[in-house]
Amino acid sequence: MAATNIPTGGAHAQEAPHVQHHATGDHHDEHHDHHDQHWLSKYVFSQDHKWIAKQFLISGIAWAFIGATLSTLFRIQLGWPDANLSWLEPILGRWIDAGKLNPEFYLALVTMHGTIMVFFVLTAGLSGTFSNFLIPLQVGARDMASGFMNMLSFWFFFLAGIVMFISLFLETGPAAAGWTIYPPLSALPQAIPGSGTGQTMWLVSMALFIVSQLLGGVNYITTVINLRTAGMSMAKLPLTIWSFFLTAILGLLSFPVLFSAALLLIFDRSFGTSFFLSDIYIGGEALNHVGGSPILFQHLFWFLGHPEVYIVIMPAMGIVSEVLATNARKPIFGYRAMIGSLIGISLLSFVVWAHHMFVTGMNPFLGSVFMFLTLIIAVPSAVKTFNWLATLWRGNIRFTSAMLFAIGFVSLFVSGGLTGIILGNAALDIQMHNTYFVVAHFHLVMGSSAFFGMFAGVYHWFPKMFGRMMDEKLGYVHFWLTILAAYLVFIPMHYVGIAGFPRRYYAYTAYETFNQFGNLNTFISIAAIMAFFAQFIFLFNFVYSIFRGRRATENPWGSTTLEWTTPIEPGHGNWPGAIPAVYRWPYDYSKPGAPEDFIPQHVPYSQTVSSNLPYEKEME
């Protein structure tokens, strides 16, 4: 088929819903020319997926700095437990008492740091940004299936953020029972001040957040299933899209369960039910609650909690696959195996949750079933890792900032994944559980890795988002400082963890055994503060480049995917004319016989006769 008479099926696909709306007579403001849109609907309540993506990105960055500030505060406490902290009084006010950080506020800091990073930054900031930005652009759609719900998704997230933010300034402090909010600690205000209004606001905020996730998720899934352009079969989707798609499915299945758990906890806290509470004595007095089961909460929580860690990491995996292939100028190694392993990880992620609960006194047989299933996850994870390495192998590597972060991701993911295999063994976990070993594990494999994936994405798609380039030199500095600091922080934590140092402790000075780690803790804190300051380089680069960066070209990285066929700054609807149809998979890099080292997805085989493989000849 010649290129000129390609049916513009993609465009039809996009218009069809509109036709439908006409038929139903629905009033639809998308029909107004976007030039005379009110600024409120253009910049604030925008329904354009690209703008919503930027809203998610910028809120995500703001939350990341808040989350990092909190961690810097508690690292100061851990690194210098005997120091006089009165100099922090201007920021922390009455939480500094006679030069000492309030111990309960320390727990609140840890809790809010975890909550903010896991949910607001690495879920909303990461998926929210890149699923929104890339799904319509890469599948060839004019926008998401429902722009309105997509907009609501952002504003529910925003509202969740406001509630969480206000809770930071409560008289009794924000929630303090850990990001996993285990009852009874989280259920009883008598147990810790943070379990008063702070915990209530945490739960309200999280309920809003779940609504936001569901609204976004159904849109992502529907867009991928329904609105792909002509020729874009599922087997031609970039791996980014596969990962966002599966991430959204995980969210759709697991967030409602967290909602249920949160609702039951709310009833226990405020309506006198006893789902999770039983036989509790406070100050010698028995509470009214009988017959509940705190372990039940853990089951419900981790049924979400474990898929959640994959909700965090899978988008990063997709981004990394894309960035690695583009900058190694090689097809991704094992495209189908990459999809298969993503699907495998997604399925397995629902049947391993109890590996967080080995020490809850569960039946050892049940424990070994969960151990077995948990260890199987190492298989698809290893498939991905080897494929990334094989993609790099003998590639024509361009060390862009995005590429550095993508390689950094692989490194961190391996380092953190290996300790997962240790923790997955119930017998070893009994020793390691609740120590800094776990903290080290998930900060490498999830925290740092996902951040690196996110950075790779921002550096890579910045030109498409803002029409300008980020500064590469600053990008290098940012990368090297960050990866160095990440390892300097988390490698020593394995060591203190093996020695038994428990997580969520305010100070170890009271314990003779742990005193020897004083210097190590100071060292970790110094590295953490270094990591924190390195992020300002990124912030500067990001803000500066939006306004002053070098102007981008249409396809600065020589990529094959559809987003680079749009104008430098795509308007509402993404493509000014018809949506390009797709003929080939997204990884035709350095194809032998081709004049250039990449062939975009929308180029038909009839135009690439010199490089077509035997079986592609038929498609000319």
Partner 1 sequence: MHPSESLNNKQAGVGTHPLRFILWLMIISSTMAFAAFTSAYIVRRGEGNWLDVDLPQSMLINTIVVLLSSVTMQLAYYFARRDEISRVRIFLIVTFLLGIVFLIGQWHVWSELVLDNVHFGGGANPAGSFIYVLMGFHGAHIIAGLIFLAKTFNKTLQYKIHSRSMLPIGNCTIFWHFLGGLWLYLYLFLLLNH
**408/412 Cα distance (integer angstroms):** 6
Which of residues 287 and 382 has its CB atom nearest to ligand HEM in the complex? 382
- Binding track over 12-41 against partner 1, x by CB under 8 A: xx-xxx--x--xxxx---------------
Amino acid sitting at position 486: A
Closest CB 579 distance from partner 1, rounded Å? 11
Task: Decide: is 429 part of the binding site for ligand HEM (CB under 6 A).
Answer: yes
Q: Where are the alpha helices (DSSP H) in 467-506?
A: 472-498
Closest CB 2 distance from partner 1, rounded Å? 17
Number of H helices, E strands in the chain: 20, 4
Closest CB 420 distance from Cu ion, rounded Å? 8
- Binding track over 268-307 against ligand HEM, x by CB under 6 A: ----------------------------------------
Question: What one-character-per-residue DSSP string does 7-74 give?
Answer: --HHHHHHHHHHHHHHHHT---GGGS-GGG--HIIIIIS---HHHHHHHHHHHHHHHHHHHHHHHHHH
**423/445 Cα distance (integer angstroms):** 13
Contacts of 262 (CB under 8 A, 6+ apart): 203, 206, 207, 210
Which of residues 13 and 412 has its CB atom nearest to Cu ion in the complex? 412
Closest CB 377 distance from ligand HEM, rounded Å? 5
Determine the interface stretch with ligand HEM among 66-74, 403-411, 428-436, 516-524 (rule: CB under 6 A): 428-436
- Binding track over 202-231 against partner 1, x by CB under 8 A: ------------x--xxx-xxx-xxxxxxx
Which of residues 66 and 423 has its CB atom nearest to ligand HEM in the complex? 423
**436/427 Cα distance (integer angstroms):** 17
Task: Please give the backbone phi and psi of residue 574, each rounded to the nearest 5 degrees, phi first.
Answer: 70, -55
Task: Decide: is 443 part of the binding site for Cu ion (CB under 5 A).
Answer: no
Contacts of 28 (CB under 8 A, 6+ apart): 18, 21
Of the candidate residues 306, 443, 460, 572, the single one contacting Cu ion (CB under 5 A):
306
Whether the CB-CB separation of 456 and 323 falls below 8 Å is answered with yes
Whether the CB-CB separation of 308 and 124 falls below 8 Å is answered with no
Of the candidate residues 63, 95, 245, 442, the single one contacting ligand HEM (CB under 6 A):
442
Of the candidate residues 4, 40, 171, 233, the single one contacting partner 1 (CB under 8 A):
233
Which of residues 210 and 371 has its CB atom nearest to Cu ion in the complex? 371
Tokens 């740092």, residue located: 448
Of the candidate residues 64, 300, 311, 534, the single one contacting partner 1 (CB under 8 A):
300
Which of residues 265 and 444 has its CB atom nearest to ligand HEM in the complex? 444
Task: Decide: is 255 part of the binding site for partner 1 (CB under 8 A).
Answer: yes
Neighbours of 450 (CB within 10 A): 29
Three-state secondary-structure class, residue 564: helix
Positions 300 through 359 that interact with ligand HEM (CB under 6 A): 309, 312-313, 355-356
Give which of ligand HEM, partner 1, Cu ion, none residue 464 binds (C-beta under 5 to 8 Å, depending on kind): none
Closest CB 183 distance from ligand HEM, rounded Å? 16
Closest by Cα among 451, 349, 377 to 408: 451
Look at the alpha carbons of 286, 288, 290, 294 in this order and tell me if their dihedral is positive or negative. Answer: negative
**169/92 Cα distance (integer angstroms):** 10
Task: Decide: is 438 part of the binding site for ligand HEM (CB under 6 A).
Answer: yes
Amino acid sitting at position 512: E
Task: Decide: is 112 part of the binding site for ligand HEM (CB under 6 A).
Answer: no
Closest CB 140 distance from Cu ion, rounded Å? 36
**546/470 Cα distance (integer angstroms):** 8
Residue nearest to ligand HEM (CB): 420
Task: Decide: is 257 part of the binding site for partner 1 (CB under 8 A).
Answer: yes
Give which of partner 1, ligand HEM, Cu ion, none residue 381 binds (C-beta under 5 to 8 Å, depending on kind): ligand HEM
Which of residues 210 and 423 has its CB atom nearest to Cu ion in the complex? 423
Torsion angle in degrees (nearest 10) through CA of 300, 306, 312, 315: -110
**266/112 Cα distance (integer angstroms):** 19
Closest by Cα among 462, 375, 457 to 423: 375
Q: How many CA atoms are closer than 13 Å to the CA of 46, on its beta-carbon side? A: 19
Positions 365 through 424 that interact with ligand HEM (CB under 6 A): 374, 377-378, 381, 417, 420-421, 423-424
Give which of ligand HEM, Cu ion, partner 1, none residue 290 binds (C-beta under 5 to 8 Å, depending on kind): partner 1
Task: Decide: is 263 part of the binding site for partner 1 (CB under 8 A).
Answer: yes
Chain residues in the site for partner 1 (CB under 8 A): 7, 9-10, 12-13, 15-17, 20, 23-26, 145-146, 149, 214, 217-219, 221-223, 225-233, 252-257, 259-261, 263-264, 267, 271-275, 288-293, 296, 299-300, 303, 581
Chain residues in the site for Cu ion (CB under 5 A): 306
Chain residues in the site for ligand HEM (CB under 6 A): 180, 309, 312-313, 355-356, 374, 377-378, 381, 417, 420-421, 423-424, 429, 432-433, 438, 441-442, 445-446
